[in-house]
Structure 1
Amino acid sequence: MKILLVSPAYPPTFWSMQYAGRFFHAPSNVPPLGLLTVAAMLPKDWPQRLVDMSVEPLLEEHLAWADAVFVSAMDIQMQSAATVVRRANAAGVPVVAGGPHYTLYYETVQGVDHILVGEAEAVMPQLVADLQNGCAKPVYKADGFPRLTETPPPRLDLLDIKAYLAMPIQSTRGCPFQCEFCDVLFLNGLKPRHKSLEQILVELDNILSLGWGGMIFFVDDNFIGNKKLAKTFLHGIIAWQQGHGQPFTFITQASINLADDAELLGLMATAQFKSVFIGIETPAAASLAECSKKQNLGRDLLRSVETIHSFGINVMGGFIIGFDADPPEIFSIQRQFIENSGIAVAMIGLLSAPPHTPLWKRLEKEGRILGFPSGNNTMDENALNFIPKMDKDFLVNGYKDLLREIYTPTASFGRIKKCLKHYKTPDFVTKRPVKLYDVKAMFHLFWTLGFFTKGRLAFWRLFFYILFKSPTELTEMLHLAAMVHHCQIVTTDFLRNKETCSR
């Protein structure tokens, strides 16, 4: 049975990073790990092809080749996913769909022949058997959350690895915190489940065998959801890195309590974790209490960010506007915090209420739900799928002004400078041989940011400051500048499109 694996396209958002990827000739941020893991669960004698629509278009010849199309999507991909389903229907090819989007909305999805609800490990054996016997059911529901110790390594051999900024690994699923707006509790559970260290090291071996020597993204919901386990993993990763010549750097997602554990931070720095995404959400205590973001309450958030930066790990921050408890001056409060924190990549979004979350349930009881969210809370004012307490026009206009102020060249590059004041690159990284690949990307970045953008003066001021004050941080400065450049473009495009539509 010939299987066409299709990952729908991601629209431009803060997370997509395609404009940063252009410096490395990489059109996409990270491959579709869920789909590649499903591919590894299929019979070995079933021919497989992957089409990642963030890298290449889906062609009619792809559909003509396939006996079935497997689609996996997150909410942000829902529009592209719907197009894939319609095209497969028109070509007469059965569709099997799964992933977060289809798990959340399986009762309303149209055009899909077989839907996997929940995690694939729990249902793939039955689905495969039924497909082989010609009796596949419309819906397959996972019973609970499966163990990950039997999850196979993803089929990375299906990829063109040069098309990506980072390769993916997942060591755990689930998060111990219960933020009101987050659907991870429903999708992956409260108690983090994990792979074995041996599984992780095998996946590192596999990635290295492909010739990869760049960044790896641990896509865990919360890498430090179990701190003791994370330390065990990190000791193993450090030993692996040292035994293989330190080939990789890492990025992941974690909670702010990372700042409380110097041992954990030290291990991450030694392992070469260079970036971490943290959901800060807001410096307003009342809004944090409202959304049950308990791990962020009762702490100096600025000090926590500074502590993480001091270990050579830059913080990418998630921020939210639209809580009931947000005061009218929330926009200036958020702007001041972001500027003072030195968080260069600040992903600011409007609050959304996904189905099955505590927030959805609360707002539904209050009669405030307007419909399903758009799936994009950072570049879509329709992300507000509920009636906010604050006047909506005031809220949306304040959000746009905040984005406009945060991503001016002076503000953006100023935050990089502030971040790197607390930064320290490990000695073995500064001694690592420079690759031709990185040199080409550096000159492309210099050419673009130094000569062809409105922010070129701010860029050169930052460059010469780092060159003379802290030259060992120059590589990290350029890495952050590339990501900031992406954020500036998507912000400018969003604001321009909205201003055009309002005329």
Structure 2
Amino acid sequence: MNTGGSGTDVILIQPRYRLGRAPARRKALPLGLLTIATPLDLAGYKVRILDQRLEPDWEQILLAELKTKPVCVGVTSMTGAQIWWGLKASEVVKRNSDVPVVWGGVHPSLLPRQTLENPYVDVVVQGEGEETFFELVEALGNKKPLDKVQGIWYKEGGNIKQNPPRPFIDLNRQPPISYHLVNIWQHMMNISGRDALPIESSRGCPFNCAFCYNTSFQQRQWRALTAEQMLLRIKRVIDEYGLRGFAFSDDNFFTDPNRAHQILDGMVKQRFDIVWGKGDIRLDLLSQLDGDFLHLIERSGCLSLAIGIESGSQRIADLLRKETDISRAVPVNRRLARYRMHLQYLFLIGTPGETEADLAETVSLMLRLVDENQNAAEGVNIFVPYPGTELFDLAVQYGLPVPRKLEEWIPFSWINRRLDYPWLSVEIRKLIQMLSFCSVFLAKDREMKLFQDIHPFISFVAALYQPVARRRIQGHHYRFLPELKIAELLGFRGY
């Protein structure tokens, strides 16, 4: 190891994910950065995670850190607004030092060459970074050539070079996360009103949803910690931090029901006395679980499950490659009404080919689910055509211009949603905006308390607006929406 002296050896930047002014929110744990920082930390490197979401003066902090001549600066980025903030940080680095800038994460992994064509990016880590980034830092720190580092793209002599890809890592051989590199209490998630630390037990998903980047990023491969390893990691966090709440960050926690059963049974038998949430589960699997399994999920401390239905129209569900029978949603929802677990039904609207009739079916199902189960809520997302997905290719067929450089992907954000898609009429755009905005207010009173995390006044206004939102959804009243302008003035963007 050849570190940069008494200062920071590696700076890792967590970009903001919103453009413009936004109200204070809880900030998700920078889990991606922590996973690549952990091997470096254990090897003795001094790692600084600079979170733009938490540090309003991040630029001054970055400039001060650059004076210590770190080995490199790493930037993670999803498609969308994080690119803007990541480029802003990268520009600061390149204009004030000769420190290499390394990009990683989902978007650079999907489009490494285009990312490297930006003058502020020197290296791209493609795919998982735990082993790749460690080897890259070692090579940079020891002034060695980069041609032996698997899984990277880099610039050399004005050309872009691609090294052989790195195979997927074995999660069970990775060390526990170095949580001490951040203040975890600033990154608690709110799960049904309880604080919860994001934690990972698996990666990837074997399914083929047409809108999901994982089909390219994880190549439809699902890998997981063993139940024994997962239980050890949960217990470690409990013992070290006294935490009793967890939020699984897995793409699909229940992919292997037997493993999930072993983990949940272990939680009960070892008397962890915890609560947990954000357990992603498919509708078809949920319909097959017997009563004993459902009771185990509840007894293990589950507060919430996330269920991706995506559409009330079977035609659109088939277009999305959900490979499930949407009609199962109603009986499953009724069956789960006897349990205390909160259910977050996820919907996706605005896809190419979706009609007003399809949206009407979605609205009907949404209302039925919340009416028949007091613990049900909806999350309605506007479609974003992510690179590497089947629906991106379909969107291009419908007239979507293909971005030709990195910064042109900034509007393609899950939070700052663009609506200028060529397949959307003016009327459909307004309807989609209304549904995305008003669906937030379909939740029951206890879910509405989440607005208190933003500001008491926002919470008060949200409670007053709740019946108005429901009437808008029921009657498809979308032609006059002054509340959207008010929301933007309060810092909310994306509707």
Q: Same fold (TM over 0.5)?
A: yes
Give the 3 Å change call, closer, same or farther, for CA 249–351 of structure 1 in structure 2.
Answer: closer
Give the 3 Å change call, closer, same or farther, for CA 379–311 of structure 1 in structure 2.
Answer: farther
For residue 241 of structure 2, give the secondary structure of its aligned residue in structure 1: coil
Amino acid at match of 1:4: I
- The CA distance in 1 between the partners of 2:36 and 2:392, in whole Å, is 30
Q: Work out whether residues 369 and 387 of structure 1, in 8 Å CA contact, stay in contact via their aligned partners in 2.
A: yes
Structure 2 residue aligned with 1:157, among 180, 192, 198? 180
Give the 3 Å change call, closer, same or farther, for CA 247–41 of structure 1 in structure 2.
Answer: same
Q: Tell me the equivalent position of 1:482.
A: none
Q: Tell me the equivalent position of 1:103.
A: 109
Structure 2 residue aligned with 1:369, among 400, 424, 435? 400
Deviation per residue, 1:98-149 (Å, 9 max, x gap): 1112112221122122210011245245324312321353155633433212
Q: Tell me the equivalent position of 2:100.
A: 94
Q: Work out whether residues 381 and 436 of structure 2, in 8 Å CA contact, stay in contact via their aligned partners in 1.
A: no
Give the 3 Å change call, closer, same or farther, for CA 28–66 of structure 1 in structure 2.
Answer: farther
| Alignment TM-score, normalising by the size of structure 2 | 0.76
Q: Work out whether residues 153 and 203 of structure 1, in 8 Å CA contact, stay in contact via their aligned partners in 2.
A: yes
What 5-or-longer segments of structure 1 have no aligned partner? 418-440, 461-489
Q: Work out whether residues 379 and 440 of structure 2, in 8 Å CA contact, stay in contact via their aligned partners in 1.
A: no
More helix by share: 1
- The CA distance in 2 between the partners of 1:492 and 1:255, in whole Å, is 36
Deviation per residue, 1:174-229 (Å, 9 max, x gap): 11211111111111232311112333233213322442424312111101112222
Amino acid at match of 2:111: Y
Q: Tell me the equivalent position of 2:340.
A: 312
Amino acid at match of 2:386: P
Across the aligned residues of Structure 1 and Structure 2, the Cα RMSD in angstroms comes to: 3.6
- The CA distance in 1 between the partners of 2:310 and 2:231, in whole Å, is 33
Give the 3 Å change call, closer, same or farther, for CA 348–66 of structure 1 in structure 2.
Answer: farther
Give the 3 Å change call, closer, same or farther, for CA 10–150 of structure 1 in structure 2.
Answer: same
* 2:264 paired with 1:234: yes
Give the 3 Å change call, closer, same or farther, for CA 270–64 of structure 1 in structure 2.
Answer: farther
Which consecutive segments of 4 or more residues in structure 1 shift more than 6 A?
A: 441-447, 497-502
- The CA distance in 2 between the partners of 1:500 and 1:147, in whole Å, is 39
Structure 1 residue aligned with 2:378, among 346, 352, 367? 346
Q: Tell me the equivalent position of 2:87.
A: 82
Deviation at 1:501, TM superposition (A): 13
Q: Work out whether residues 276 and 304 of structure 2, in 8 Å CA contact, stay in contact via their aligned partners in 1.
A: no
For residue 145 of structure 1, give the secondary structure of its aligned residue in structure 2: coil
Deviation at 1:344, TM superposition (A): 5.8
- The CA distance in 1 between the partners of 2:19 and 2:282, in whole Å, is 25
Give the 3 Å change call, closer, same or farther, for CA 369–381 of structure 1 in structure 2.
Answer: closer
* 2:33 paired with 1:35: yes
Give the 3 Å change call, closer, same or farther, for CA 7–152 of structure 1 in structure 2.
Answer: same
Give the 3 Å change call, closer, same or farther, for CA 134–269 of structure 1 in structure 2.
Answer: same
Structure 2 residue aligned with 1:254, among 281, 297, 304? 281
Deviation at 1:49, TM superposition (A): 1.6
Q: Work out whether residues 79 and 386 of structure 2, in 8 Å CA contact, stay in contact via their aligned partners in 1.
A: no
Amino acid at match of 1:84: A
Q: Tell me the equivalent position of 1:48.
A: 47
Give the 3 Å change call, closer, same or farther, for CA 291–338 of structure 1 in structure 2.
Answer: same
* 2:213 paired with 1:183: yes
Give the 3 Å change call, closer, same or farther, for CA 331–286 of structure 1 in structure 2.
Answer: closer
Structure 2 residue aligned with 1:387, among 422, 430, 442? 422
For residue 134 of structure 1, give the secondary structure of its aligned residue in structure 2: coil
Q: Tell me the equivalent position of 1:64.
A: 67
Map 1:395-410 onto structure 2 (within 5 A).
395-408=428-441
Q: Work out whether residues 350 and 432 of structure 2, in 8 Å CA contact, stay in contact via their aligned partners in 1.
A: no
Count of aligned pairs: 428
For residue 427 of structure 2, give the secondary structure of its aligned residue in structure 1: helix
Q: Tell me the equivalent position of 2:391.
A: 359
Map 1:459-470 onto structure 2 (within 5 A).
none
- The CA distance in 1 between the partners of 2:29 and 2:300, in whole Å, is 22
- The CA distance in 2 between the partners of 1:12 and 1:316, in whole Å, is 26
Deviation per residue, 1:46-101 (Å, 9 max, x gap): 11122222222322323334502122222242222121211221231322221112
Structure 1 residue aligned with 2:129, among 120, 132, 152? 120
For residue 360 of structure 1, give the secondary structure of its aligned residue in structure 2: helix
Give the 3 Å change call, closer, same or farther, for CA 161–498 of structure 1 in structure 2.
Answer: closer
User: Percent of aligned positions with the same letter in both sequences?
Assistant: 20
Deviation per residue, 1:313-355 (Å, 9 max, x gap): 2122321222344232344433332222127653322222222
Q: Work out whether residues 161 and 212 of structure 1, in 8 Å CA contact, stay in contact via their aligned partners in 2.
A: no
Structure 2 residue aligned with 1:219, among 237, 249, 254? 249
Amino acid at match of 2:31: L
* 2:175 paired with 1:170: no
Q: Tell me the equivalent position of 1:133.
A: 142
- The CA distance in 2 between the partners of 1:155 and 1:141, in whole Å, is 29
Amino acid at match of 2:91: R
- 149-158 or 263-272, larger mean C-alpha shift: 263-272
- The CA distance in 1 between the partners of 2:491 and 2:197, in whole Å, is 34
- The CA distance in 1 between the partners of 2:253 and 2:493, in whole Å, is 41
Q: Tell me the equivalent position of 2:12.
A: 5
Q: Tell me the equivalent position of 1:477.
A: none
Amino acid at match of 2:357: E
Q: Tell me the equivalent position of 2:460.
A: 453
Q: Work out whether residues 312 and 358 of structure 2, in 8 Å CA contact, stay in contact via their aligned partners in 1.
A: no
Give the 3 Å change call, closer, same or farther, for CA 314–12 of structure 1 in structure 2.
Answer: farther
- The CA distance in 2 between the partners of 1:332 and 1:169, in whole Å, is 37
Amino acid at match of 1:355: P
- 368-377 or 148-157, larger mean C-alpha shift: 368-377
- The CA distance in 1 between the partners of 2:76 and 2:355, in whole Å, is 39
Q: Work out whether residues 186 and 357 of structure 1, in 8 Å CA contact, stay in contact via their aligned partners in 2.
A: yes
* 2:350 paired with 1:322: yes
Give the 3 Å change call, closer, same or farther, for CA 124–141 of structure 1 in structure 2.
Answer: farther
